[in-house]
């Protein structure tokens, strides 16, 4: 017997795959294998006996004029081994396809959302920081580049992460996770702030340097609801919950404004700007004038604050001390 029909019937029962479709796929693969073999006869067909599992290659028999007058058995001597191997490959692929379909069903509509899981093990050899995360009956992959550089996890740790995407390849479906993506912060706020979930408050822009600082620009669609206040929460509990999940990453929540000068001034928080001059709207360049004692704060350590403000607003921002600015110097005198 070349192929175990019992195994195929079990696959049919457990996966709900029609047996004829499964057998058809095996016959197609076997014909391809036969046609690649030396001495293969063109126009041959595969017959897989549905009762016994015996595989036969039937090749066309021609007369001297090339007319087909019948068929003859041209099954290679080692075709039983090939048939068994092919059937197992087809079954394995169908299992992967079924698993992929299940994963896609389980996570339909969850891309860009946060999931919780348990760190299982590292996903690579040696010192690799790639992690597998158990997500119920599924498993996600948190690669090193999608982790926050300052974070470390060990086997058994509970973890939350953003579903970046779900890819289906030859080896099945894979769930790619991230904790460093800016949208991870966005979704954490959506989880903690009901006004964001309901659409009353919007996160208009977000800039992040994972593990260090994020700037979040918010806007309220309801004049009776303060966007910043909603995100901070009573006694700061909402923003504190987000900060704790990010293991201490600093978060600046600022008010979005259609007036770019006001938006840039807000984006430089925690520094205060005396004013912001728009230098060129086409090239999106601006200059912020700040009190002398606020210049270092406005720029930030290694220019992080002004860099994030630029990312948040989409404008290039030059910081200038008030004492270096003629107009400000006159106003202060």
Distance CA 288, CA 276 (A): 4
- For the CA atoms of 18, 19, 22, 27, the dihedral, rounded to the nearest 10 degrees, stands at -140
- Encoding tokens for residue 323? 């004492």
Q: What is the domain range of residue 187?
A: 181-245
Distance CA 218, CA 233 (A): 14
pLDDT surpassing 80 at residue 88: no
pLDDT surpassing 60 at residue 117: yes
273 — pLDDT class (breaks 50, 70, 90)? very high
pLDDT surpassing 90 at residue 48: no
Verify that 329 and 311 share a domain, yes or no: yes
Question: Domain boundary at 136, 154, 178, which?
Answer: 178
Distance CA 132, CA 113 (A): 18
Verify that 173 and 185 share a domain, yes or no: no
| pLDDT tens digits along 188-225 | 999 999 999 999 999 999 999 999 999 999 999 999 99
Verify that 64 and 17 share a domain, yes or no: yes
Verify that 79 and 126 share a domain, yes or no: no
What are the contacts of 324-329 at 24+ separation with CB within 8 A?
Answer: 325/289, 327/289, 328/274, 328/275, 328/289
Instruction: Residue 162: give its domain's CATH number.
Output: 2.40.50.140
Instruction: Residue 46: give its domain's CATH number.
Output: 3.30.1480.10
Q: What's the average model confidence in pLDDT over 295-315? A: 97
Sign of CA dihedral 225, 227, 231, 235: negative
Residue 161: name the closest of 194, 139, 128 by CA.
139
So what's the pLDDT on residue 303? 97
Question: Domain boundary at 130, 148, 178, which?
Answer: 178
| pLDDT tens digits along 282-302 | 999 999 999 999 999 999 999
pLDDT surpassing 80 at residue 330: no
Verify that 283 and 221 share a domain, yes or no: no
Say if 195 falls within a structural domain: yes
Verify that 10 and 68 share a domain, yes or no: yes
So what's the pLDDT on residue 227? 97
pLDDT surpassing 70 at residue 329: no
Percent of the chain whose pLDDT exceeds 90: 56
Mind giving me the DSSP string for 37-50?
A: STTPPTT-EEEE-T
Strand 213-220 relative to strand 250-255: parallel, antiparallel, unpaired? parallel
Verify that 171 and 220 share a domain, yes or no: no
**Domains held by the chain: number:** 4
Radius of gyration of the chain (CA): 32
Say if 250 falls within a structural domain: no
Say if 333 falls within a structural domain: yes
Say if 174 falls within a structural domain: yes
Strand 201-209 relative to strand 138-142: parallel, antiparallel, unpaired? unpaired
Verify that 44 and 64 share a domain, yes or no: yes
78 — pLDDT class (breaks 50, 70, 90)? confident
| pLDDT tens digits along 3-43 | 778 877 887 777 677 788 778 888 888 888 888 888 889 99
1 — pLDDT class (breaks 50, 70, 90)? very low
Looking at residue 40, the DSSP 8-state letter turns out to be P
Say if 251 falls within a structural domain: no
Distance CA 308, CA 203 (A): 16
SS3 of 122-140: the string is ECCCCCCCCEEEEECCEEE
Sign of CA dihedral 260, 263, 267, 268: positive
Say if 95 falls within a structural domain: yes
Say if 252 falls within a structural domain: no
pLDDT surpassing 70 at residue 170: no
Verify that 53 and 91 share a domain, yes or no: yes
Verify that 216 and 167 share a domain, yes or no: no
Verify that 276 and 235 share a domain, yes or no: no
In order of 19, 190, 223, 317, the CA distances from 158 in angstroms are 42, 20, 39, 40
Segment (H or E) for 296: helix 295-299
pLDDT surpassing 60 at residue 333: no
Instruction: Residue 203: give its domain's CATH number.
Output: 3.30.300.20
Verify that 218 and 278 share a domain, yes or no: no
Question: Domain boundary at 72, 88, 106, which?
Answer: 106
pLDDT surpassing 80 at residue 228: yes
100 — pLDDT class (breaks 50, 70, 90)? low
| pLDDT tens digits along 123-167 | 555 556 889 998 887 888 999 999 999 898 989 999 999 999 887
Say if 43 falls within a structural domain: yes
110 — pLDDT class (breaks 50, 70, 90)? confident
CA angle 72, 77, 82 (to 5 degrees): 105
- Phi, psi dihedral angles at 27 (to 5 degrees): -60, -40
pLDDT surpassing 60 at residue 252: yes
The whole-chain average pLDDT of the chain stands at 88
């Amino acid at each position: 017997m070349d192929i175990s029909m019992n195994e195929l019937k079990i696959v049919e029962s457990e996966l709900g795959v029609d047996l004829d479709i499964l057998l058809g796929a095996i016959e197609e693969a076997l014909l391809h294998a036969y046609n690649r073999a030396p001495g293969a006869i063109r126009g041959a067909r595969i017959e897989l006996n549905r009762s016994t599992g015996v595989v036969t290659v039937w090749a066309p028999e021609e007369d001297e004029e090339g007319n087909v007058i019948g068929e003859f058995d041209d099954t290679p001597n080692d075709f039983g081994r090939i048939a068994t191997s092919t059937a197992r490959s087809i079954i394995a692929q169908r299992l992967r396809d079924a698993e992929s379909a299940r994963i896609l069903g389980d996570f339909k509509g969850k891309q860009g959302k946060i999931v919780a899981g348990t760190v299982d093990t590292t996903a690579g050899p040696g010192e690799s920081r790639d992690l597998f995360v158990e997500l119920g009956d599924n498993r996600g992959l948190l690669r090193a580049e999608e982790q926050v550089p300052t974070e470390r996890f060990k086997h058994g740790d509970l973890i939350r992460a953003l579903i970046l995407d779900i890819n289906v390849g030859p080896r099945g479906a894979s769930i790619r996770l991230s904790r460093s993506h800016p949208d991870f912060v966005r979704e954490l706020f959506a989880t903690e702030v009901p006004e964001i979930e309901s659409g009353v408050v919007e996160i208009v822009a977000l800039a992040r340097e994972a593990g260090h600082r994020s700037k979040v620009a918010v806007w309220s669609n309801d004049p009776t609801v303060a966007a910043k206040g909603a995100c901070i929460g009573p006694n700061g509990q909402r923003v504190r919950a987000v900060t704790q999940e990010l293991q201490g990453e600093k978060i600046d929540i600022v008010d979005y404004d259609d007036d770019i000068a006001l938006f840039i001034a807000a984006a430089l928080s925690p520094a205060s700007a005396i004013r912001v001059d728009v230098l060129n709207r086409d090239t999106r360049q601006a200059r912020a004038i700040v009190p002398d004692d606020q210049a270092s704060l406005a720029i930030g350590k290694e220019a992080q604050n002004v860099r994030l403000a630029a990312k948040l607003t989409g404008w290039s921002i030059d910081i200038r001390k008030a004492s270096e600015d003629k107009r400000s110097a006159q106003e202060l005198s």
